[in-house]
Structure 1
């Protein structure tokens, strides 16, 4: 049984056979699972239900998975796992830039999907955390509440994805210290390979847009040449 049992998942795929197989497998792992055949069907389910994670195929008729991810991110921080064609790197990068938390190339083993789902769900903050470090980090006009895992710009809260929450948690635990890309991949629960390090680079770029006044010349989430990335609060 999954360690994240009782979470409610939404499977969105236009292939009825894949939908049925994934639904049956994930229910056996202890999840509640709903399924949708396309983005429009998924929207109707999302209007009435809350989900803990969305597993979303990129290639669908009508609105594709990347466009749907971008639309969801405008109003929701629900974690999103994209299913992509194995050789289509552009779709993976576009999906991450749109706000997806991770991707899995097809074809895949169901057990690998389960591992990825559990890794994403572990990133979602379950309750406020306490630490001996600063409670709030100031990043220019932005502040990060460490205990609540919340990013604020003035009086407006900035929505973070589950992956961005985990990245901020990692950086906030060691402000002023560089964290290597390989360590970030490991702490995010991903396989250690160059593709995942590139995926982390995309997530960092997205996070900078939410923190930096000028994301192209980052002041607070810095690149440390040869060492990785570093959060440098005021």
Structure 2
């Protein structure tokens, strides 16, 4: 995992913020990701991460869950109020309920420790590729009541208001919009999001978060409906 010389990293390369209270792991990830061509900034805790975020526009955050003070989950939830930057959570807890908690708080992906740096690299590249690629066009904007989703730009608006979508939420809505009116299984959705190992419950959590953005009453969805025993279907109207 030898790092490339610092000057070999392109000035326009994606910039990643690594936040972890483990100094050894921080440095390992900094060297490894820099060696793979990324610009990398590190922070030891949530407070230091906030300082970095105040002055730099990052392309992705790699964030430890279990940190002293403000946890990674709390920081993720807080950032989701103002940022749509992709977040990959790292944690020593790999149980399904821990992964679900990560998605509930707004994470884009979740990786249990210990992990191979190569696996983290693949997940980072998948998320950045998804964020950079415009979703395949449908026949035009998708109307969801008073809201309109532009699948080419990945934007959701309601009148003059732009509704903030995370990268994962935009990708999920785009995947559903591309096959509007068709039932997508949870496996279909996981594959479209590059989350083949996410698990059914994790997909349900992401659907629930999206419903909060597009439904008048998320408890009684009219646009993003559940088809019992099969999956989900998007019904523009």
Q: Same fold (TM over 0.5)?
A: yes
* Aligned residue number for residue 200 of structure 1: 203
Choose which of 87, 90, 99 in structure 2 pairs with 1:80: 87
Write the distance in 2 (CA, Å) between the matches of 1:84 and 1:217: 34
Gaps of 5+ in 2: 5-11
Q: Deviations over 1:73-125 (max 9, x none)?
A: 11100000001223444433222111110100111111111111111112214
Write the distance in 2 (CA, Å) between the matches of 1:64 and 1:86: 13
Count of matched residue pairs: 227
3-state SS of the aligned residue for 2:189? helix
- CA RMSD, 1 decimal: 1.7
* Aligned residue number for residue 153 of structure 1: 158
Cα displacement (A) at 1:197: 2.6
Choose which of 78, 96, 103 in structure 2 pairs with 1:96: 103
* Aligned residue number for residue 36 of structure 1: 43
3-state SS of the aligned residue for 2:179? coil
* Aligned residue number for residue 6 of structure 1: 13
Listed as ranges, the matches of 1:181-192 within 5 Å are 181-192=186-197
* Aligned residue number for residue 124 of structure 1: 131
3-state SS of the aligned residue for 1:108? coil
Choose which of 137, 141, 161 in structure 2 pairs with 1:136: 141
* Aligned residue number for residue 220 of structure 1: 223
Cα displacement (A) at 1:180: 1.1
Write the distance in 1 (CA, Å) between the matches of 2:153 and 2:63: 28
Cα displacement (A) at 1:232: 0.2
- Which stretch shifts more, 215-224 or 85-94? 85-94
- Which stretch shifts more, 205-214 or 195-204? 195-204
Contact map agreement 1:97 1:202 (CA 8 A) in 2:
yes
3-state SS of the aligned residue for 1:184? helix
Write the distance in 2 (CA, Å) between the matches of 1:159 and 1:125: 17
Contact map agreement 2:18 2:63 (CA 8 A) in 1:
yes
Contact map agreement 1:82 1:103 (CA 8 A) in 2:
yes
Cα displacement (A) at 1:40: 0.5
Regions of 4+ moved over 4 Å: none
* Aligned residue number for residue 77 of structure 2: 70
